[in-house]
Structure 1
C-alpha cells in the first residue's frame, strides 16, 4: 500500500495491528509478515497474507441463478459470524465497519475468511458536537460501503450510539445477499435505509428462522438488533446436527493451550461478547425472537459437540479463468511493532497490495510463481 502521508501510514499500521491481534483465527485471513519501506517522499506498507483464491462475490456471480441450499447459506454465514464474534470479543470490541460479500474470501481449507481491517474502529460513541459529526461523517464516507451502512451511520442527528452493532446491520445485509444474490438496499437512497424499506423475495424459499434473523438484524435501532453471540447461536442451531458447533471460535489468545484450529470444541470455554436482551419480535412472519431461547438454555445446558467437518459444502463452481481478485482495504491508527518472521516456505502463495479506489485502498491478490524469473 502506497502511503503518501502520515494519515495513510497510520491506517496501514492499524490494519497490521488488527490482523496481528486476530492471527490464528480460522475465519480471519492470516497475516504472515509485514514491512514498511521508506521510499523517500512516500512509504510503502508491504503485507504478506495467506492466498485465498475466491471472494464470496465471485462465487455468487459465477452461480448465475443457482441459489444455495439453506445449509450452505448458513455454513457461509456462520463463518462470517465466527470472525465477527472474535472481533466483538476484544476489549473494547472492535467493529469491522465494512462487512460485505467482497470481504469474505474462501480459504484453501474450505473456510470463509474475513479480510480488510482498515475500516475497524473501537471508538463507540454518540456524536453530539457539530465538528465531531463532520469528522465522523467524512470517515464514514471514506471507509464504509453505502449498501451495508447502518441507519445510525447515515444520520448522526439520530444520536444513536455508533458501536459494534453497525456490524450486525451489515451482517443482515450480507445474509440477504447470500440468500437472494442481490442487495437488500441499493445504497443510493438514504431514506430507503433509514426507513428499512426492503422486501424479502418469495423465491428462493428459506425457512422462517432465516428470514426472521434477517429482519431482526435489519432493525433501524441498534438496541433492537441481536448481538453477535445471539446471531451466532441462531444460525448454528438451524444447521444439520452433524454440522453444528458447541461454541463460536473466539480470538486466538482466548483459546486454551493445546486447542488447535479445527479441533473438537467440547469442554472449550472462553469469554463471550456482551449480551444485550433479546430483541422484540419482528413485525410479521411470527417474529424472530423465538429462536433466542436456545441461546439462553439449550446451547449451554446440554452436552453439545462438534465434528471434523468432512461433509462441509465445497464452493468450487466459479470458472477457473477468473484471475482478477480485489477487495477493499481501508485503515485508522495504531503503532507498529516488530516485523513477524516471514513465511519460511518459499513455495507459499502470497498476495501484494496497492491503493486506491474511491478513497479506499485495494488489495490485488496474485499467486506468486513458484520460481521467480
Structure 2
C-alpha cells in the first residue's frame, strides 16, 4: 500500500459530476480519490453512501486462482491479527472470477480505516524539510506501539508470523500520533527451514518482491542453501525504522537512492550515527543492538519492548 498524500484533503471537496461507486457485501461506497497504487493493487479514498464516513479501499486484481489465494490470505491475516496498533479490516469482499484464457480478472476488496494524517514517512519528510526532529519521548512511545504490533504477529498461533516489510511508509498515524502498522500483503510464516538451493532461491525471490530494500534484513539478500530464518528479520527492520524516527530515513536509504548495493551496505554492519543529534546514548545503543548483521545476535521483539519501556521510564525520571 502506497503512502497517502495530503493532496487528498484538498481534492476531497471537489464536486464529482459522475461518481464511480463500488459495493462491498451490499454496502455502497463512492470513490472520492486515488490514494496510491503498486503492483497489482490500488488504494482509493471512498465514502460510505449511507454514513458518509471516509475509508481507504484496497483493491487487489487477481489474474489467476493462485493470485486470488494470496490476496485472500491478506484478509485472513487481518482477521487473525487484532491489535490497536495493526490496521483494522472493516470489511472485505471478492468480486469476479479470474480466467486467463478469457482475459478476465477478479478483485479482492479490503476496506480499511482512513487516517487523514497519513503515514510516518510523510510526517518525517515534513519534519526533515522543517528541520524539526521528533522529541525523544515521542520517538520511544511511537516506536513502542510499532513494536507491540510486531509482537502480536510474532506471538501468533499456531505459528509466529513476520510482517517482512516494516518501514515508515507502512505505518499510519492517528490524529494523536498513535502508530498503526499496515499492509499485511507481505506477511508470512516467520520461521522458515531452508533445505537446499531451491528453497533458498524461492525465499530470496519472495523477499525481493515483498521486502523494501532499505529495510531488508541481511539474511534475506543472499539466502544460504541450508539455514534457519526467523522473526528477527523484522527486528532488523525495526532497527532501520527507529533510526528513521530519529534521523528521518533508514540508514540504508542514501545507499539505495545512489543505486549502490544495499546488500553490501547491510552486510558490512557499518551504521553511521549523525553528529550533533538530540538523542541519548541509550537510544543510539538500542538502534545498534537491533542492527546486528547476524540474526543470532539480534534480540527478539519482546526484549525490544521491555528495553523501550525502561528507556521511557528513565526519560520520565522513574528510574
Q: TM-score, normalised by structure 2?
A: 0.72
CA distance, structure 2, for counterparts of residue 172 and residue 10 of structure 1: 32
CA distance, structure 1, for counterparts of residue 233 and residue 246 of structure 2: 20
CA distance, structure 1, for counterparts of residue 86 and residue 268 of structure 2: 33
Partner of 1:154: 221
**CA shift in 2, pair 1:7/1:39, >3 Å:** closer
Among 243, 252, 259, the alignment partner of 1:176 is: 243
The correspondence of residues 7-22 of structure 1 with structure 2, limited to 5 A, is 7-22=66-81
Post-superposition Cα deviations, 1:121-161, rounded to whole Å, max 9, x if no partner, equal: 11522423122222112111111111111111112127542
* More strand as a share of residues: 2
Aligned CA RMSD, in angstroms, stands at 2.2
* More helix as a share of residues: 2
Higher RCO by CA contacts (8 Å cutoff, separation 6 or greater)? 1
Alignment of 1:221 onto 2:288: no
Partner of 1:89: 155
Partner of 1:119: 186
Alignment of 1:80 onto 2:146: yes
CA distance, structure 1, for counterparts of residue 309 and residue 161 of structure 2: 22
Partner of 2:234: 167
Alignment of 1:239 onto 2:307: no
Does the residue aligned with 2:209 lie in a helix, a strand or coil? helix
CA distance, structure 2, for counterparts of residue 234 and residue 114 of structure 1: 20
Which structure 1 residue ranges, 4+ long, deviate > 4 Å from structure 2? 240-244
Alignment of 1:55 onto 2:114: no
Post-superposition Cα deviations, 1:161-201, rounded to whole Å, max 9, x if no partner, equal: 21111000000000001101122113441111111122111
Alignment of 1:3 onto 2:62: yes
- Contact kept? 1:125, 1:162, Cα under 8 Å: yes
Q: TM-score, normalised by structure 1?
A: 0.62
Among 202, 206, 209, the alignment partner of 2:282 is: 209
Structure 2: tracts of 5 or more residues without a match: 1-59, 99-103
Across the two proteins, how many residue pairs are aligned to each other? 245
**CA shift in 2, pair 1:30/1:109, >3 Å:** farther
The correspondence of residues 93-108 of structure 1 with structure 2, limited to 5 A, is 93-108=160-175
Structure 1: tracts of 5 or more residues without a match: 245-293, 295-373
**CA shift in 2, pair 1:171/1:159, >3 Å:** farther
Partner of 1:37: 95
